[in-house]
Amino acid sequence: MAFALSPLPYPDTALAPAISAETLSFHHGKHHQAYVDKTNAAIEGTPHADASLEAIIAASRGSNQGLFNNAAQSWNHAFYWHSMAPATTAPSADLAAKIDAAFGSVDALKQQLKDRGLGHFASGWVWLAEKDGKLSIEETHDADTLADSGFNPLLVLDVWEHAYYLDHQNKRPAYLDAVVETKLNWAFASENLARGQVWTYA
């Protein structure tokens, strides 16, 4: 079963000015497409050919780094597109209560997400995640993912430089501020919390 590139859930102009259509054309249409293509090439004719992307990630972790990197990045990017929306939404009552318990307020969580994203060295991902009913901010480096981690990821921020360089050059704080303050998809996070299990690639 070959995987298709997960489509953007909005027009490529929808995230401007935080993220431009030009950035999305490269990031989604080229970077993400390349990860999907390399995953498909690596699983063709193997026992992984009919497996889910999540199963491939789990099976290749620690045993096939090339396949893991491309499968995990295919998953991470699809999850990232859904973590944003043209206009930011509000957390559900359940999610808001858990945010207050863990961080004090939504505004405090936003600041911590920006701080962790700014402090993350080199490439990687900053996640809002749930485990055992509690929320936390987690970081993964390079292609690593929470898809098979035991955490239930709710939202993610991409802090690879190609996510923001065309729009903000080397100013990661400007990118993080724009996305966290105006584009986070709290409805998606609320759905992931209510589902109680890891989102699946489609």
Ranges of each domain in the chain: 21-82, 93-195
Q: What is the pLDDT of residue 156?
A: 98
Q: Residues in the chain with pLDDT < 70?
A: none
**Model pLDDT for residues 61-104, shown as the tens digit of each residue:** 999 999 999 999 999 999 999 999 999 889 999 999 999 999 99
Structure tokens at 176: 């993080």
- The number of beta carbons lying within 10 Å of the beta carbon of residue 129 is 20
Considering only the top CATH level, what class is 93-195?
A: alpha beta
134-141/152-158 β-pairing:
unpaired
Q: Which residues of 49-63 are buried (b: 16+ CB within 10 A; e: fewer)?
A: eebebbebbbbbbee
Domain 21-82 matching CATH 1.10.287.990: the answer reads yes
Q: What is the pLDDT of residue 202?
A: 80
Q: What is the pLDDT of residue 51?
A: 97
Please state whether the predicted TM-score (pTM) of the whole model is above 0.85. yes
Q: What is the pLDDT of residue 89?
A: 84
